[in-house]
């Protein structure tokens, strides 16, 4: 993601804000040094995912003669896991449960993955993934929530999104719809082709739309238009995604000037079926089918009857080709790399949509093992995610003294900007530390947390991080000058703090609430002196302390 650069406006507690930023952030841009991996037999399938990750990561570190960062503090790992698995920081009560005792990371991971927040957070994350920065793409969050609650396999979700699973019955609720992924993109077939290739197969083929891809040998316009042809039979009927039996796919003009015939072709070169009707018969068949569709449209209000489905579905054929034994590794490797990027801050292949022979992975055996494991376990994303956060490499410190090593060594944990949803939910959680009491029944506690989590994501000025993301100046300025935000910040936290007997307890409670850890001696001194200067205006003093905590990079980033 690149090094986040945050400009903090002038503030009495500005030194604290800057000091909470890890040293490697200030050091500058990290170097990406290419290293060749040693080819070897893949580890057996019966090995735990976390163990396999550490085996391959450690081997590369030893080859590069780099000693990795030490394990992160338990409080840091707890916060990291909460943010990564359920999309929010822990409440002060939750964070304190892990203080003063060794952290059982496996038990915590299991607890978070089995909680309702896991499905909600993944629905948010995958909704962003499936939009692919496409402003015309619609939200699929309701479908994704249902899918993750049911732990639906990734290959089944792929079929759902292409609209080739069992069709929804007429009148089915909108939230059950997944094929809006295709339906809402039909007006721009080029964008649909780009998004499908990029999201599901890790290959952005936009460059091949007009000419041979400049970096990938052999990736010509035939591939772009071949992928696009799988969607050429699709059309919208009464708000539903359907397919025609007959279509005359337009030829394309190659860069050489020649006109080339288009046929359905997957990224591997595998071709789909193409109608071989003579031109005259094809034109007549298209006209007849169009007339039938128009008649069904006129009668739909009364009959609720859809036009007949084609004998051969082009989109279904795409799914079959993509998931067959010859091509499924491409499908698996793409989602593995996307999730690795999400949890480790840097892909095994960078960029994540440029997975091709001329841009190999930093750890090829690891990527191959993880893809094979995902296929073997029937595309179980919950299992994959649980394994990815279970390694030693995941739990390393984000601090690095001196010149940092190459990102693709994964020698330390890079700090990652929070997404708007993470920021919003964490803000709401931190702003009301008494959201539940320790003696609340489990069902009451879950309901309260769900209500708070659903209230997140209401801060549009917090940008969605992507590759090489830099936090802009607008965000801290908004947090510093927006009267409504300043009024709301701490509004529910200050009354809790005012009930505490002294400034030391107030500082500790505020730090637990916002940063999920106890205050340091330096923070006690800095905040204590500041609150002492504001004895005549205690609420203002507490509000400024809370402001400083919320504006610190330690809150804005996942360390």
The tens digit of pLDDT for each residue in 77-89 reads: 999 999 999 999 9
Contact 391, 57 (CB under 8 A): yes
Residue 140 resides in a domain: no
Residue 229 resides in a domain: yes
Q: Which of 319, 353, 378 is the last residue of a domain?
A: 319
438 and 552 share a domain? yes
217 against 489, higher pLDDT: 489
**Mean pLDDT of all residues belonging to the chain:** 85
As separate numbers, helices (DSSP H) first and strands (DSSP E) second, the chain gives: 26, 6
Q: Does 35 score more than 50 pLDDT? A: no
Q: Which range marks the domain in which residue 427 is found?
A: 1-30+414-559
Q: What pLDDT was estimated at residue 468?
A: 66
Residue 332 resides in a domain: no
Q: What pLDDT was estimated at residue 57?
A: 98
Give, in order, the Cα–Cα distances in Å from 509 to each of 115, 308, 449, 501: 26, 64, 19, 12
Domains of the chain: total: 2
Q: Does 93 score more than 90 pLDDT? A: no
183 and 307 share a domain? yes
What predicted TM-score, i.e. pTM, was given to this entire model?
0.89
Q: What pLDDT was estimated at residue 253?
A: 65
Give, in order, the Cα–Cα distances in Å from 263 to each of 195, 269, 411: 19, 11, 46
Residue 195 resides in a domain: yes
pLDDT band at 9 (very low <50, low <70, confident <90, very high): very low
Q: What is the mean pLDDT of residues 175-195?
A: 89
Q: What pLDDT was estimated at residue 387?
A: 98
pLDDT band at 171 (very low <50, low <70, confident <90, very high): low
pLDDT band at 548 (very low <50, low <70, confident <90, very high): very high
Q: Does 335 score more than 60 pLDDT? A: yes
Q: Does 39 score more than 50 pLDDT? A: no
Which residue, among 84, 155, 109, 146, has the nearest Cα to 340 in the 3D structure? 84
425 and 313 share a domain? no
What is the DSSP secondary structure assignment for residue 398, as one 8-state letter?
S
Q: What pLDDT was estimated at residue 557?
A: 92
255 against 160, higher pLDDT: 160
Q: What is the mean pLDDT of residues 146-174?
A: 83
- Which of 29-38, 133-142, 213-222, 383-392 is least confident? 29-38
pLDDT band at 250 (very low <50, low <70, confident <90, very high): confident
Residue 376 resides in a domain: no
Contact 462, 424 (CB under 8 A): yes
Q: Which of 269, 301, 319 is the last residue of a domain?
A: 319
Residue 497 resides in a domain: yes
CA 207 to chain centre: 24
559 against 336, higher pLDDT: 336
- Which of 29-33, 188-192, 257-261 is least confident? 29-33
Contact 24, 402 (CB under 8 A): no
The pLDDT > 90 percentage for the chain reads: 62
- Could you give the 3-state DSSP secondary structure of residue 558? strand
Which residue, among 456, 440, 544, 536, has the nearest Cα to 497 in the 3D structure? 544
541 against 21, higher pLDDT: 541
Q: Which of 272, 297, 319 is the last residue of a domain?
A: 319
Whole-angstrom distance, CA of residue 407 vs CA of residue 369: 21
pLDDT in tens, 48-76: 999 999 999 999 999 999 999 999 999 99
pLDDT in tens, 367-413: 999 999 999 999 999 999 999 999 999 999 999 999 999 999 999 99
Q: What is the mean pLDDT of residues 333-355?
A: 95
Q: Could you tell me the two tokens for 433?
A: 């530390």
Contact 437, 449 (CB under 8 A): no
Residue 97 resides in a domain: no
Q: What pLDDT was estimated at residue 27?
A: 28
In sequence order, the 6+-apart residues with CB closer than 8 A to the CB of 420 are: 457, 459, 460, 462, 463, 464
In sequence order, the 6+-apart residues with CB closer than 8 A to the CB of 211 are: 221, 255
What is the DSSP secondary structure assignment for residue 8, as one 8-state letter?
P
pLDDT band at 170 (very low <50, low <70, confident <90, very high): low
Residue 326 resides in a domain: no
């Amino acid at each position: 993601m690149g090094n986040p650069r945050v400009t903090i406006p002038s503030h009495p507690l500005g030194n604290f804000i800057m000091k909470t930023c890890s040293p490697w952030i200030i050091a500058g841009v990290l170097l990406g040094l290419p290293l060749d991996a040693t080819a070897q037999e893949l580890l057996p399938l019966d090995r735990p995912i976390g163990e396999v990750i550490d085996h391959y990561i450690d081997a590369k570190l030893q080859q590069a003669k780099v000693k990795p960062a030490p394990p992160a503090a338990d409080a840091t790992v707890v916060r990291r896991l909460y943010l990564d698995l359920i999309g929010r920081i822990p409440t002060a009560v939750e964070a304190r449960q892990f203080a003063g005792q060794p952290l059982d990371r496996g038990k915590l991971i299991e607890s978070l993955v089995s909680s309702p927040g896991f499905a909600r957070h993944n629905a948010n994350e995958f909704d962003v993934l499936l939009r692919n920065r496409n402003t015309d793409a619609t939200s699929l969050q309701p479908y994704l929530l249902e899918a993750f609650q049911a732990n639906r396999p990734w290959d089944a979700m792929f079929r759902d999104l292409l609209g080739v699973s069992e069709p929804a019955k007429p009148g089915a609720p909108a939230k059950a719809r997944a094929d809006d992924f295709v339906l809402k993109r039909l007006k721009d077939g080029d964008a649909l082709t780009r998004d499908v290739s990029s999201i599901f197969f890790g290959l952005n083929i936009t460059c091949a739309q007009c000419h041979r891809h400049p970096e990938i040998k052999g990736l010509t316009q035939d591939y772009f238009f071949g992928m696009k042809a799988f969607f050429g039979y699709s059309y919208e009927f009464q708000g539903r995604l359907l397919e025609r039996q007959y279509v005359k796919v337009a030829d394309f003009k190659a860069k050489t000037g020649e006109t080339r015939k288009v046929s359905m072709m997957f990224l591997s070169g595998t071709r789909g079926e193409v109608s071989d009707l003579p031109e005259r018969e094809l034109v007549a068949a298209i006209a007849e089918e169009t007339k039938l569709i128009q008649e069904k449209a006129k009668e739909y209000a009364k009959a609720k009857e859809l036009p007949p489905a084609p004998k051969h579905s082009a989109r279904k054929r795409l799914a079959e080709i993509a998931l067959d034994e010859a091509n499924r590794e491409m499908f698996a490797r793409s989602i593995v790399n996307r999730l690795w990027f999400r949890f480790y801050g840097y892909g095994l292949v960078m960029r994540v949509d440029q997975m091709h022979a001329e841009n190999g992975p930093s750890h090829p055996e690891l990527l191959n093992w993880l893809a094979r494991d995902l296929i073997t376990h029937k595309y179980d994303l919950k299992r994959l995610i649980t394994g990815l956060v279970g390694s030693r490499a995941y739990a390393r410190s984000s601090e690095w003294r001196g010149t940092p090593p190459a990102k693709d060594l994964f020698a330390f944990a890079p700090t990652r900007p929070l997404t708007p949803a993470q920021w919003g939910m964490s803000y709401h959680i931190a702003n009301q530390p008494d959201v539940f009491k320790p003696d609340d029944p489990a069902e009451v506690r879950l309901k309260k947390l769900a209500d708070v989590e659903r209230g997140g994501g209401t801060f549009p000025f917090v940008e969605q991080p992507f590759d090489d993301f830099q936090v802009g100046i607008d965000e801290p300025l908004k947090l510093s000058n927006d009267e409504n935000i300043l009024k709301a910040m701490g509004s529910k936290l200050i009354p809790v703090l005012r009930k505490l007997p002294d400034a030391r307890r107030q500082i500790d409670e505020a730090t637990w609430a916002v940063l999920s850890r106890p205050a340091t001696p330096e923070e006690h001194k800095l905040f204590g002196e500041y609150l002492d200067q504001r004895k005549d205006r205690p609420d203002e003093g507490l509000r400024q302390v809370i402001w400083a905590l919320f504006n610190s990079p330690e809150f804005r980033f996942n360390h």
